[in-house]
Amino acid sequence: MLRDTLKTLLSAWGPSGNEHAVAEAIKALVAPHVDDMHVDALGNLIVQKYGSDENGKRIAFSAHMDHIGFVVTDIDENGFLRVNNVGGINQSISNARHVLFENGTEGVLYCQPAKGETPAMKHLFIDIGAESRTDAEQNVQIGDMAVYAPDCFEIGANRIASPAMDDRCACALLCELLMYLDEPKNTVIGIFSTQEEVGLRGSHVAAYSVAPDIGVGLDVTAWGDTPEVKLPSVQLGKGAAVKFIDRSMIASPSVRDALLKAAEDAGVPAQREVLPFGGQDGASLQHTRAGVPAGCLSIPCRYVHSPVEVIDMRDMESALRILLQFIENA
Amino acid sequence: MDLKQLCEIHAPAGEEKRIRKALLAEARSLCGEENVRIDRMGNVLCFKKGREPGKPHVCVSAHMDEVGFIIMGATEDGLLRFRPIGSIDPRVVVSKRILVGEDLVPGVIGAMAIHLQSAADRERVLDYDGLFIDIGAKSKDEALGKCPAGTYAYFDTPYMTFGDGFVCAKALDDRVGCYTILELLKDSYPCDVTFAFVTLEEGGMRGSQGAAFAIQPDIAINLEGTAANDLGNVDSQFQVCCPGQGVAVSFMDKSSISQRRLFQKMLAIARENDVPHQVKRGVTGSNDAANYQRAASGALTCVLSVPCRYIHSGASVCCLSDVDAQIQLTRAFLNNV
C-alpha cells in the first residue's frame, strides 16, 4: 500500500550525506521486486528491474533520499550546539523546533537574535539538555547532523504532513512503481539518490554510472493554492504535475509530452508545472555524458522545506498510474 | 624544495608555468620520469604503484595556483587598471608592493591619502574600479608598453618565519598542500596513489575537473590551506580553525560533504598516530574535493587543511607544526587505507 510505504520511509532519519538508514529501509521494501541493487561511492542506492525485451529502453527514475537538516559546527562551554544549515533552511521557520540526531539524541532548536537583528543562521542553537561542553560531547560531536524530528500525521481525508515529505513521497512512489511492475519490456532503473538538497550531488554521479536512455526526476513541487501564494499554479489533489521548466532544467519535450500522454492514456488527472525556481535530479540525468532526454514528474507539496510538508495521496495515486503507463508506452 | 621556495614562486591561476616547472622537476626525481605526466589542463599527475594488490586507488591532491591580479588597461596618466584573480578583499591590497609580469616590474597599489579624504571617503571601501597599480609610468603608452592588458601581477611578499614556528607568506593556500605532496612522494605505500598538483583552483576549481575525470580514484584526499578566524574578537563559533592546533579535518564545506565513514576513519587514524588535529568548525569555503567526489561515478572524499590566518592576502600566516601534521596524517592514512 502506497500509504504504508510512505509512512515507513517518512520515519527514517536521513539528512544530506547521511542517507544510509533510508537506503536500508528502501532495500528491505524493494529487494523482492528487483533484479539488482547496489550502493555507490556517494551512497546512492541504485536498483534495476530488467526488461523482457533485450532491445528495450533503459529508463531511469530518480528520487532523493535526503532531506534538509542542520550540522553542528561548534559546542559552547555551556553545552549549546551551534549549527549550520544543510540544504535550504528558512531561519524564520526554524525557531522552537524538536530535532533529532542519528543516535537518538533529541534537542530543541531555538533562534535568538539580539534585539533588532534579523534572524540568521548564526542565531540558531540546539539545546540537548547538556550542562557543559563535556556533557554535550557524550552524545554529540562537531560534524554530527540533526533533522526536524520525524513526524507524520493525516489532515483531512487525503492529506499527510511530515518534515521529510520532500522527497520521501517520491521514494515511496518509486518503491511502489518497482513493486507494481509486471515483466516490463523496458528495463527500469530506480535511483534513490543522496545529497540532492545540497546541489543534486548524488544523482550527478548516479546518472553517469547508469547512463540511461530516458530519465525522469521524481520530486515534490511548490504549491500555489494557499492564501497569499500566487505562483506557481499547481494545486494539491488535482493530480501529479508534469514539469515543463525549473531552474535546473527545461524538460526534454519528448519526455514531457510522453508523461502528459501517459496521464491521458491512463485516464488520470495531471497538471502542467512551470516553476520559476528550484531544481531536481532530472537535471542530472539530462546533463550526464553526451546528454539524455529527461523530464520530471512532481508531487504538489505545500510548505516545502518546513516541518509540516503536506501532500495529497490522490496525487500520489495519479503519479503511480502515469509512471506505469509511461513505462508501458516507452 | 622547501616551503619558502614554493611560496615565493609567482603563479596565479592561469599562469602556473613557473610553479609547474618546479614541481615537475621535483616530482620526476622523486617518483621517476615515466610516472609523471602533465594533462591538458596543465595539472601534474604523479603515479606511485602500491606494494599490495587489492587496495583502493587513492588520489592526494593540492592546487598549485594562488590568488593574484591581472592587468586590464591603464589610465591616461599611466596608472594600471587591474582585477583580482581569485577572490581578494580590496581592503587588503591597498598600500601593497606588487610585481607585474615576467620582468617583475615593481609597483604599488595606492589610494587617496587620509589627509585628503572627506568623512564620506573614510566610510567607503574602495573597490577595484577605484584602485590602481602605480609602476611609476608617466603615460598610458608607457604603462601599457611595460605591462600590457592580460599581464599577471603578484604580491611581492618575502617568506618570513616568526614567533614560535609561525610563517608569514603569500600563497600558503595552497603551497602547503604542494609541500606536503612533495614530502609524501619520498615514500611508497601499500595502495596505488596518484598525487595531483592541479591548476586553476582559485576562481572556480577548474583544473581538478579534468584531473578527477582522468584519475577516477576510489578515494580522494584534498590538501588545502583553509581560513582560520581565531582573531582577537571572534566568538568560538566563528573561528573555524586555529593555527597551531593541528591539521583541520573537514566534515563538510560549501562544495562537498566528506563521506561520513572516511571522516571518522581520518579522526581515528589521527588519534591512533598521535597526529595533532582539529575538526574544522565551520562549513566555509569550496575546494577541489567537490570535483573528485562528483567526477564520473563518484569517489569518497575528505579534506585535510592547514589553518591559515589572513588567507587570500599578501601576508597569510600558518604554523609549521600544522603543515607537519598534514604530512603525518596523510601518510598515516595512505599506510592504513
What is the model's pLDDT at position A102? 97
Give long-range contacts, CB 8 A cutoff, 24+ apart: B141-148. B142/B78, B143/B74, B143/B78, B143/B79, B143/B80, B144/B73, B144/B74, B146/B100, B146/B101, B146/B103, B146/B105, B147/B71, B147/B74, B147/B80, B147/B100, B147/B101, B147/B105, B148/B71
Rounded to an integer, the average pLDDT of B256-268 is 97
The yes-or-no verdict on residue B255 having pLDDT over 80 is yes
Does the pLDDT at position A231 exceed 80?
Answer: no
Report percent pLDDT > 90 for chain B: 92
Reported as half-sphere exposure (CB side, CA atoms, 13 A), residue A292 has a value of 29
Q: In what order do the strands lie in the sheet with B166-169?
A: B160-162, B166-169, B316-319
pLDDT for A149: 97
Complex ipTM: 0.92
Chain A CB within 8 Å of residue B298 CB: yes
* pLDDT attached to residue A4: 96
3-state helix, strand, coil in chain B (%, to 5): 30, 30, 40
| pLDDT digit string, tens, across residues A259-286 | 999 999 999 999 999 999 999 999 999 9
DSSP secondary structure letters along A58-76: EEEEEEE--B-EEEEEEE-
Predicted pLDDT at A103: 97
Are B279 and A86 an interchain contact pair (Cβ–Cβ within 8 Å)? no
Average pLDDT over residues B39-55: 96
Contact (CB, 8 A) for A17 and A195: yes
How confident is the model over A152-161, as pLDDT tens digits? 999 999 999 9
Q: Mean pLDDT, to the nearest integer, of A288-299?
A: 98
Q: Given this model, what pLDDT does residue B121 score?
A: 85
Q: How confident is the model at residue A89 (pLDDT cuts 50, 70, 90)?
A: very high
Residue A292 C-alpha, separation from nearest chain B C-alpha, in angstroms: 15
**What pLDDT does residue B44 have?**
98
Contact A143 B299 (CB under 8 A): no
- Is the predicted pLDDT of residue B65 greater than 90, yes or no? yes
Cα separation of B25 and B198, whole Å? Answer: 15
Pull the grid cell for residue B204: 572556480
* pLDDT single digits (tens) B288-299: 999 999 999 999
C-alpha cell at A264: 491521458
Residues of B in contact with A18 (CB under 8 A): 260
Cell of A42: 556517494
Half-sphere CA count of B210, side-chain side, radius 13 A? 15
Chain B residue with CA closest to A75: the answer is B237
pLDDT of residue A230: 77
Average pLDDT over residues A124-152: 97
Comparing B237 with B277, the larger pLDDT belongs to: B277
Q: What is the mean pLDDT of residues B24-38?
A: 96
Q: Is B163 near chain A, with CB under 8 Å?
A: no
pLDDT for the residue B126: 85
Q: Which of B226, B237, B253 to mutate to test the interface with A (most CBs of A within 10 A)?
A: B237
Q: What percent of chain A has pLDDT over 90?
A: 90
Is 80 exceeded by the pLDDT of residue A16?
yes
Interior CA angle at B20 toward B18 and B23, to 5°? 110
Residue-range domains of chain B with CATH: 3-66+170-336 (3.40.630.10), 68-155 (2.40.30.40)
Candidate from B236, B257, B297 with C-beta closest to A208: B297
Q: Which amino acid would we find at residue B40?
A: R
Per-residue model confidence as pLDDT tens digits over B197-213: 999 999 899 999 999 99
Q: How far apart are the first and last CA of chain B?
A: 28
Instruction: Give catalytic residue positions of A.
Output: 196
Residues 165-224 of B with CB under 8 A from A: 218
Instruction: Evaluate if residue B246 carries a pLDDT over 80.
Output: yes
Q: How confident is the model at residue B116 (pLDDT cuts 50, 70, 90)?
A: confident
Choose among B237, B251, B256: nearest Cβ to A82.
Answer: B237
pLDDT grade for A115, boundaries at 50, 70 and 90? confident
Residue written as grid cell 582560520: B228
pLDDT, average across residues B267-284:
96
Q: Which of A17, A41, A141 sits opposite B299 (nearest CB)?
A: A41
Residue B114: its pLDDT value, please?
83
Q: What is the mean pLDDT of residues B229-244?
A: 90
Of B251, B256, B298, the CB nearest to A40: B298
Please tell me whether residue A24 adopts helix, strand or coil conformation. Answer: helix
Average pLDDT, chain A: 96
Owner of C-alpha cell 500509504: A3
Q: Average the pLDDT over B97-103 and give the result.
A: 96
Look at residue B331 in the predicted model and tell me its pLDDT: 98
Cβ-based contacts of B298 with chain A (< 8 Å): 40-42, 44, 204-206, 208-209
Q: What domains can you pick out in chain A, each with its CATH number?
A: 2-67+164-329 (3.40.630.10), 69-148 (2.40.30.40)
The reply to whether residue B281 touches residue A73, judged by beta carbons under 8 angstroms, is: yes
Cβ separation B297–A205 shorter than 8 A = yes
| Residue of B162 and B120 predicted with greater confidence | B162
Task: Find the CB nearest B298 among A18, A84, A205.
Answer: A205
pLDDT (mean) for B47-71: 97
Please tell me the predicted confidence (pLDDT) of residue B125.
84
Nearest-Cα distance to chain B for A196, in Å, is 12
Q: What is the mean pLDDT of residues A275-303?
A: 97
Give the per-residue pLDDT at B82.
Answer: 97
With a pLDDT cut of 70, the percent of chain A lying above it is 100
From the centroid of its chain, how far is CA B323? 13
Using the Cβ of B251 and the Cβ atoms of chain A, whether some distance falls under 8 Å is answered with: yes
Residue A232: pLDDT over 80: no
Can you give the pTM of this predicted structure? 0.94
Among B226, B251, B265, most A C-beta atoms within 10 A, so best to mutate, is B251
Find chain A residues with C-beta within 8 A of B215's C-beta. none
Across the interface, do B237 and A141 touch by the CB < 8 Å criterion?
A: no
Between A72-86, A212-226, A316-330, B113-127, the lowest mean confidence (pLDDT) is in: B113-127
Note whether A74 contacts B237, CB cutoff 8 Å: yes
Q: How far is CA A57 from the centre of its chain?
A: 25
Find out whether B216 and B295 touch, Cβ atoms under 8 Å. Answer: yes
CA distance A239 to A300: 8
In A, which residues are within 8 Å of B218 by CB distance?
Answer: 41
Which spans in chain B are helix H? Answer: 3-8, 17-31, 119-123, 140-146, 172-184, 207-215, 260-272, 289-294, 320-336
pLDDT of A32 reads 96
Q: Say whether residue B282 is in contact with chain A using an 8 A CB cutoff.
A: yes
- Going by their DSSP bridges, the two strands A187-193 and A58-64 should be labelled as parallel
B300-308/B219-227 β-pairing? parallel
pLDDT band at B232 (very low <50, low <70, confident <90, very high): confident
Which residues from A are below 8 Å from B when comparing CB atoms? 16-18, 40-44, 71, 73-74, 76, 82, 84, 86, 122, 141-143, 195, 198, 201, 204-206, 208-209
Q: Look at residue A229 in the predicted model and tell me its pLDDT.
A: 85
Interface probe for A, chosen from B218, B277, B294 (most Cβ of A below 10 Å), is B294
